[in-house]
Amino acid sequence: MTDPTADATASSSGPPMEAAATAAPPRGLLGIGAGGLVLEALVLLLAAPAVAAAERGHVVVWHIVYLLAVAVLLIVAAGQLRRRHGLMFASLLQPWVIVAGVITWPMYVVGVLFGGIWLYYLRLWRPTTSSPERT
């Protein structure tokens, strides 16, 4: 006869290190990321009227469309963050926010600030490789 507990441990998916690497992040971390992306989208949405006012009647339509499109993509990325591809999708959008500085220079500053916050968020997302042991 075989021990049922031995079969259960033998059928687990690899060592504990692999299980920790594939584990989902805490729900609070997902909420922080989604909130940051929505805040970034809100800043872009608020920048659109400012760009229109700064042009003094000579509004270039693609400037406004670009800001609105990136804002919508950021909101979609916030909703997709819990899926497997969501983190990569949101990370790929960060350079596009910095590129918005071509439209108006303060967006360079905003884009770099949000990019730095996003890099810190990615650092928080990374699972720890060792668990703390108490002696």
25-34 confidence digits (pLDDT tens): 777 889 999 9
- The boundaries of the domain holding residue 47 are 27-125
Residue 59 lies in a domain: yes
pLDDT at res. 17: 46
47-67 confidence digits (pLDDT tens): 988 888 887 767 788 999 999
pTM summary value: 0.74
Count of domains observed in the chain:
1
pLDDT at res. 39: 96
Residue 19 lies in a domain: no
pLDDT of residue 19 exceeding 50, the answer is no
Residue 67 lies in a domain: yes
**Least confidently predicted of 16-20, 27-31, 37-41, 61-65:** 16-20
Residue 20 lies in a domain: no
Distance CA 71, CA 130 (A): 38
Distance CA 89, CA 109 (A): 22
79-122 confidence digits (pLDDT tens): 999 888 999 999 999 999 999 999 888 899 999 999 999 999 99
Distance CA 100, CA 51 (A): 11
Cβ contact 112:102 at 8 Å: no
pLDDT of residue 40 exceeding 50, the answer is yes
Distance CA 104, CA 111 (A): 11
pLDDT at res. 54: 81
Q: Render the chain in DSSP notation, one character per residue.
A: ---HHHHHHHTSSS-HHHHHHHSPPPHHHHHHHHHHHHHHHHHHHHHHHHHHHHTTT---HHHHHHHHHHHHHHHHHHHHTTSTTHHHHHHHHHHHHHHGGGT-THHHHHHHHHHHHHHHHHHHHSPPSS-----
pLDDT at res. 21: 47
